[in-house]
Amino acid sequence: MEAEVAVRTGPVDGEQRAPSRQPVYAALDLGTNNCRLLIAKPFHNGFRVIDAFSRIVRLGEGLSRSDTLSVEAMDRTVSALRVCRSKMRRRGVTDMRAVATEACRRAENCAVFLDRAERETGIRIEIITASEEARLALAGCAPLLDRSLPRAIVFDIGGGSTELMWIALENGRSRLLDQISVPFGVVHLTERFGSDRVTWPDYEAMIEGVRDALAGFEVRNRIGAEVAEGRVQMLGTSGTVTTLAGIRMGLPRYDRSRVDGTWLDRAVALEIGRSLVDCDFAARAAHPCIGPDRADLVVAGCAVLEAIWALWPTPRLRIADRGVREGILSEFVSGRGSHG
């Protein structure tokens, strides 16, 4: 059953809002792997970020084996949520929306976790459907789409699943034609195939599994034919693609301002991804754009990306270090986030 989508508006925890006060918005995205927060104020026709937080919490760790969230994973996540709560209080947040995705959609004990999170942090988190997740991600990254091309593949490689959208660009607007969510995320694949030195047969098995899961999407939309005609662009938003972009740019440490909106050639990205397969955990962890928190996950992400490109070989990919949170903030600014 799909979860009800609700938006928390008004003063946080009963705090009074001054009538003339400029609104302060908060968007929190709790995924299978990460807890991310953005706090922003309206600015011209958009918003200006005034604070941010991101922490790898691995809420979905072990979920593929037990269908439940572990106590340790919940502890880590609640700790991160306390930091988010502190930042929201300090910034005087007036309106917020906190959403959870694949891990909470799948976990049998998710209600226990959400009750605990609200009780201990005051943050009420809503579980959104895969469709709502994709819609918000598209709203967040749509400004990066090239309006001169009529079609786009937009994807998000998450911890527990991969979301992919087929988009039409018409009269300066983006329209969703079709979408799919497949249960192949970096945490799930890493737990299944291992995290230290992935063998080439395992890597190829990851690619094959994702490609098979997406094959029906290709059949019903005939995307490949439009790719061959040069009518399709590709936009990716995930830790995998931002990491690959940072590696390609030779950054001494990850820098969102330099990565967001950049382009990554297909041949270069595949070469980097395959080189990471030959590295062990320590070698991947030593790279400044990967680090120990992502060293065991990045190979699985590269496999998902390679599967997408195997079906739809666009010559390059645009990188978006933005997504669900920016989509939430955009809807607050436009007024669509201030309902019910």
Judgement on whether residues 142 and 291 belong to the same structural domain of the protein: yes
Q: How many residues are recorded in the chain?
A: 340
**Please, what is the average pLDDT of the chain?**
90
- Pick the range with the lowest mean pLDDT from 5-9, 244-248, 322-326: 5-9
Task: Give yes or no for a contact between 298 and 284, defined as CB atoms under 8 angstroms apart.
Answer: yes
Judgement on whether residues 186 and 303 belong to the same structural domain of the protein: yes
Contacts of 33 (CB under 8 A, 6+ apart): 56, 57, 58, 59, 60, 158, 159, 160, 185, 186, 187, 239, 297
| Residue 1 covered by a domain | no
Q: What is the pLDDT of residue 171?
A: 86
| Residue 332 covered by a domain | no
| Residue 334 covered by a domain | no
By CB atoms closer than 10 A (0-12, 13-18, 19+), residue 243 is buried
Domain closes at, from 94, 128, 162 = 128
Note the pLDDT tens digit of each residue in 115-166. Answer: 999 999 999 999 999 889 989 999 999 999 999 999 999 999 999 999 999 9
Judgement on whether residues 155 and 97 belong to the same structural domain of the protein: no
Q: Can you give the pTM of this predicted structure?
A: 0.86
Note the pLDDT tens digit of each residue in 3-58. Answer: 322 333 334 444 444 444 789 999 999 999 999 999 999 998 889 999 999 999 99
Alpha-carbon span 161 to 156, nearest angstrom:
9
Domain closes at, from 102, 128, 154 = 128
Mean pLDDT of the 67-94 span: 97
Paired tokens of 71: 């106590």
Query: Between residues 314 and 142, which one has the greater pLDDT?
Result: 314
Q: What is the pLDDT of residue 12?
A: 46
Judgement on whether residues 196 and 262 belong to the same structural domain of the protein: yes
* 101-117: b (≥16 Cβ within 10 Å) or e: bbbbbbbeebeebbeeb
Domain closes at, from 93, 128, 163 = 128
Judgement on whether residues 270 and 158 belong to the same structural domain of the protein: yes
Q: What DSSP assignment string belongs to 277-317?
A: HTS-HHHHHTSTTT-TTTTTTHHHHHHHHHHHHHHS--SEE
| Residue 69 covered by a domain | yes
Judgement on whether residues 72 and 109 belong to the same structural domain of the protein: yes
Judgement on whether residues 256 and 153 belong to the same structural domain of the protein: yes
- Split into its structural domains, the chain has a count of 2
What number of other Cβ atoms are within 10 A of residue 242's Cβ?
22
At residue 88, does pLDDT exceed 90? yes
Q: What is the pLDDT of residue 337?
A: 61
Whole domain around residue 255: which residue ranges? 137-324
Judgement on whether residues 91 and 168 belong to the same structural domain of the protein: no
Judgement on whether residues 106 and 172 belong to the same structural domain of the protein: no
| Residue 293 covered by a domain | yes
Contacts of 201 (CB under 8 A, 6+ apart): none
pLDDT band at 281 (very low <50, low <70, confident <90, very high): very high
Note the pLDDT tens digit of each residue in 188-220. Answer: 899 998 767 889 999 999 999 999 999 999 999
Judgement on whether residues 160 and 302 belong to the same structural domain of the protein: yes
Check which CATH number belongs to the domain holding 141 and give it.
3.30.420.150
| Residue 268 covered by a domain | yes
| Residue 329 covered by a domain | no
Judgement on whether residues 158 and 262 belong to the same structural domain of the protein: yes
Judgement on whether residues 308 and 212 belong to the same structural domain of the protein: yes
| Residue 5 covered by a domain | no
Check which CATH number belongs to the domain holding 92 and give it.
3.30.420.40
Q: What is the pLDDT of residue 334?
A: 85
Q: What is the pLDDT of residue 2?
A: 27
Alpha-carbon span 40 to 173, nearest angstrom:
24
